[in-house]
Amino acid sequence: MTSAQPDAIKQSITTFRSLKIEDRLAALALMYKHIAGQIPANAVDNSAKASGLVSKVGQLSPELQTQALRDMLDAQRQDGDEVALDPNPSKALAELVTGSNQTIPIDEYSSLGKDDKLAFWYQMGQKVESSVSDLKPSSEVTEFLQSLQSLSADDRVAFISKAL
C-alpha cells in the first residue's frame, strides 16, 4: 500500500497521539466503523495472536476491558503485564485477599506485529460496534475525524497501521 500523502499521515498520527486516551479510543472506534470494509482482508484474517488477545480481553470485567484498551493504546506505557484491581478500595482489598484479580495482557499486546495490532483493533471494533453508535465524541475527536476526510481510503488504513 503506497501513500500519496506521507506528510498528511504523519500529521494525523501526531494529532491522534496528542489526544487524551479516551478520545483516542473513541476516534479509533469511530474510524473502524467507517473504514472497516476498506481494510484488506489479509491484514485482519488468520491472526491467531490477535484473536487470542481479543478473547483474553473479552474475559475481563467491562471496567478492566476499558482499562486494558486504554493501556494498550497508550504509547508511553511500557511497564509490562500488570494486575488491575477494582477502583473501589474495599473490593480491591477483597481481590488481594482472595486472589480474584485479573491480569491485563499488556506485554502480549506489545509483542504483536503491525498487522496483528491492526487485526486486534479491527476485531475489537467488531465486538463493540453496537455500542459505538451511541458514542458521543468530543469536539477534539470530531475535528480530528473531519481532518481524516482529506485522506484517501488507503491513506486512512496506512494511518491506522502506523498509529498503532
pLDDT, tens digit (0-9, with 9 covering 90-100), for 93-152: 555 554 445 567 788 888 888 888 888 888 887 776 655 556 678 999 999 999 998 888
Spatial neighbors of 117 by CB under 8 A, at least 6 apart, are: 50, 109, 161, 164
Instruction: State the cell numbers at 51.
Output: 484473536
Question: In whole angstroms, what is the distance from residue 115 CA to residue 47 CA?
Answer: 8
Average pLDDT over every residue of 85-95: 56
Question: What pLDDT is recorded for position 78?
Answer: 45
Buried b (16+ CB within 10 A) or exposed e, 105-143: bbebbeebeebbbbbbbbbbbeeeeeeeeeeebeeebee
Report, in angstroms and rounded to the nearest whole number, the Rg of the chain calculated over CA atoms.
17
At 11-47, the pLDDT tens digits run 999 999 999 988 998 888 888 777 766 666 666 666 7
Question: In whole angstroms, what is the distance from residue 115 CA to residue 109 CA?
Answer: 12
Write a three-state SS string for 1-62.
CCCCCHHHHHHHHHHHHHCCHHHHHHHHHHHHHHHHHHCCHHHHCCCHHHHHHHHHHHCCCH
Domains and CATH numbers, the chain: 6-163 (1.10.2090.10)
Question: What pLDDT is recorded for position 120?
Answer: 87
Is-above-0.85 flag for pTM?
Answer: no
Average pLDDT over every residue of 47-60: 86
